[in-house]
Amino acid sequence: MWSTAVVLALLTATAPVASAATAPVGTARATAAAARPQPLERHFDNRAVSDDGRPGEADFDGSGGSLSAQDLAAAGWTPGRSLTVQGARLTWPDRVAGEPDNVRADGQSVRVRGRGDALAFLVAGTGGSPARGTGTVRYGDGTRSSYRLTAPDWRTGPLATKAVALPHVNTPDGQVAERARLYVVTVPVVRGREVASVSLPRNRSLHVFDLAVRPLSSGWTGTWAASTSGYTAVGPWTDRTLRLVVHTSAGGPRVRIRLDNTFAGAPVRVGSATVAVRAAGAAPRGAPVPLSFRGAAETVIPAGAQVYSDPVAFDVPPGSDLLVSFHLPGTVTAAPVHRLALQTSYVSEPGDHARDGSAAAYTSTITTWPLLTGVDVGGGPGSVVVLGDSITDGEKSAPDANRRWPDLLAARLRGEGTVPRYGVLNQGISANRVVGDRYPGDGVSTDTGGVSALNRLDRDVLAQTSARTVVVFQGVNDVRWGATSGQVIAGLRKIAARGHARGLRVLAATIAPCEGETRCTAAADAERVEVNTWMRRAGVFDGVLDFDAVLRDPDRPSRLLPAYDSGDHLHPGGAGLAALAESVDLRMLRR
């Protein structure tokens, strides 16, 4: 099993490569011309997409297999369509079915421009196993760095990390009911340095449909976020408006929202959207402010993609409740959700009620956050991202009270004068693990434990707005369900390495004890202790928050201090969550 579709790129800035002085003039000119960077589409040499009625017009994998143009259209992946995935804007090739629409990687030099933290590749492999290779990034100042890219196979790769899965594979003998996968894989670049071109790896089983530099989110601070924990049945909602309540950490004079159609197989249409400061319940304080998407009032989010609203002048108070409202004009029967919101939100009677200045139309409630995954504010120093499980998600904290430990940490930061007032982004998912997927990553499911921390790291941490520091507080669910300390340690090492490669400060929190809970056996506790010992001694992280020491009973270190125990022996109660937030040395968050 692959832990992630992303393979760490080792960045090594070197001097520019000089042309060979001894080569004949004609040969040197021909070589230079051949190596001159070209737009990716000029390199297209493979046909991946076929019309269902003419499957023989494409041969993606060398055996006649291809992607269905009709399935792609049904997912919202139409020719020339702009797709934002993991913060990177990519384009599905603007080609008719049966025309060349991708390149088999063979060292081609591709013209790419931009500054950012990563290169994003829209890829798939066709060799039956992951297609790997090493390429080169060249910068405008003449330096370069290497990267390693892995493209999971289009028919056997992990669903947990796919960008989109299609229901069929076209073959010369007809359609096969089999999931065809496409992936967006990111690799680091030298942060903020102008990219001029990219040389692709040499592996013709690795197919590239598009690539782009993922830009830095300069000028923005993430103030609220939630991870997509699964794709579940909802409603069904037809012509309804959702009014979701979220609590800010940092404030600012501008705002934008992010909607994600993660794990979906079909697009979702948003008819309109607004933002307002909440007065009480579903009632706003003042008229809701309309949001737009690339200048339009409505938008369609393709399967697996995301959209950001356009920036709008709006004073977002720190530590306040916002109402984010959006109209769903069609019928929505399933949606990506964050299940454990611990917050009451609202669903309207039929109609577009996003601009309503009263709560009258909002007659139903929900306790999940569907589709909405982020709120950003203008300016500010950036954000701290907390990657965690149910303890971070707020299990056993009071509903509608914003007493999760990251909320309390944000309140401390707002009162500080010596440490920047970072936004705090809670990326906890109840039941989540470091190395094992709970939700399979595709299709409608009742399991909302999410894909593993490794498989969601790029989306939930590395691609988050203005992330500066990540705090990793996970592992108890792994050892409770049979993972060894070695497996957890290996996963945490990868998280640290990938975070460092993107320029993040990476902190780890030791795993809290849980004796008395059914699955917290003596054997599980022994694995937990081994992980914690490694964390404290390994020097892999930029700092360690000893949450184990904060929460444990000194007379019986394998269990929670009774005053901090919620009663289930696994989750801290309100006092324990407050103790966690208070124990953080805020200076450790500074990057």
pLDDT along the chain (591 residues), means of 10: 36 31 35 72 98 97 98 98 98 98 98 97 97 98 98 98 98 96 98 96 98 95 98 98 98 98 98 98 98 98 98 98 98 98 98 98 98 98 98 98 98 93 98 98 97 98 98 98 98 98 97 98 98 98 98 98 98 98 97 84
The DSSP element (H or E) to which 233 belongs, if any, is: strand 230-247
Give the pLDDT score at 418.
87
> For residue 148, which amino acid is it?
R
Give dist(CA 290, CA 372) in Å, integer: 16
Torsion angle of C-alpha atoms 312, 313, 314, 317, degrees rounded to 10: 110
The number of C-alpha atoms within 13 Å of 78 and in the hemisphere containing its C-beta is: 9
Give, in order, the Cα–Cα distances in Å from 490 to each of 356, 456, 486, 531.
Answer: 51, 16, 6, 10
Residue 507 and residue 542 in contact, taking contact as beta carbons nearer than 8 Å: yes
Nearest to 305 by CA among 508, 7, 90, 14: 90
Residue 76 and residue 266 in contact, taking contact as beta carbons nearer than 8 Å: yes
Structure tokens at 155: 């028919």
Structure tokens at 379: 């300016």
Give dist(CA 202, CA 208) in Å, integer: 12
The DSSP element (H or E) to which 538 belongs, if any, is: helix 522-538
Cis preceding-peptide flag for 236 (omega within 30 of 0): yes
Give dist(CA 520, CA 475) in Å, integer: 12
SS3 529: helix
Give the pLDDT score at 75.
98
Nearest to 270 by CA among 366, 352, 164: 352
Give dist(CA 255, CA 344) in Å, integer: 22
Q: What is the pLDDT of residues 327-340, one digit of tens each?
A: 999 999 999 999 99
Give the pLDDT score at 444.
98
Give the pLDDT score at 28.
37
Give dist(CA 179, CA 167) in Å, integer: 5
Give the pLDDT score at 77.
98
Give the pLDDT score at 30.
34
Structure tokens at 13: 């800035």
Work out the angle at residue 363's Cα, subtended by the Cα atoms of residues 307 and 370, and round it to the nearest 5 degrees: 25
Nearest to 513 by CA among 503, 527, 502: 527
Structure tokens at 393: 């998600």
- Specify the long-range contacts of residues 549-558, CB closer than 8 Å, at least 24 apart: 549/510, 550/579, 550/580, 550/583, 551/512, 551/513, 551/576, 551/579, 551/580, 552/512, 552/513, 553/513, 556/515, 557/513, 558/513, 558/515, 558/522, 558/525
Work out the angle at residue 191's Cα, subtended by the Cα atoms of residues 254 and 418, and round it to the nearest 5 degrees: 55
Residue 153 and residue 60 in contact, taking contact as beta carbons nearer than 8 Å: no
Q: Chain-centre distance of CA 200, in angstroms?
A: 24
Instruction: Identify the DSSP state of 288.
Output: P
Give the pLDDT score at 6.
36
Determine the number of helices (DSSP H) and then strands (DSSP E) in the chain: 10, 37
Cis preceding-peptide flag for 399 (omega within 30 of 0): no
What are residue 82's DSSP bridge partners? 91
Give, in order, the Cα–Cα distances in Å from 171 to each of 31, 174, 182, 417.
Answer: 39, 5, 17, 64
> For residue 276, which amino acid is it?
A
Residue 428 and residue 434 in contact, taking contact as beta carbons nearer than 8 Å: no
What are residue 374's DSSP bridge partners? 225, 258
The DSSP element (H or E) to which 325 belongs, if any, is: strand 321-338
Cβ neighbours of 15 (radius 10 Å): 8
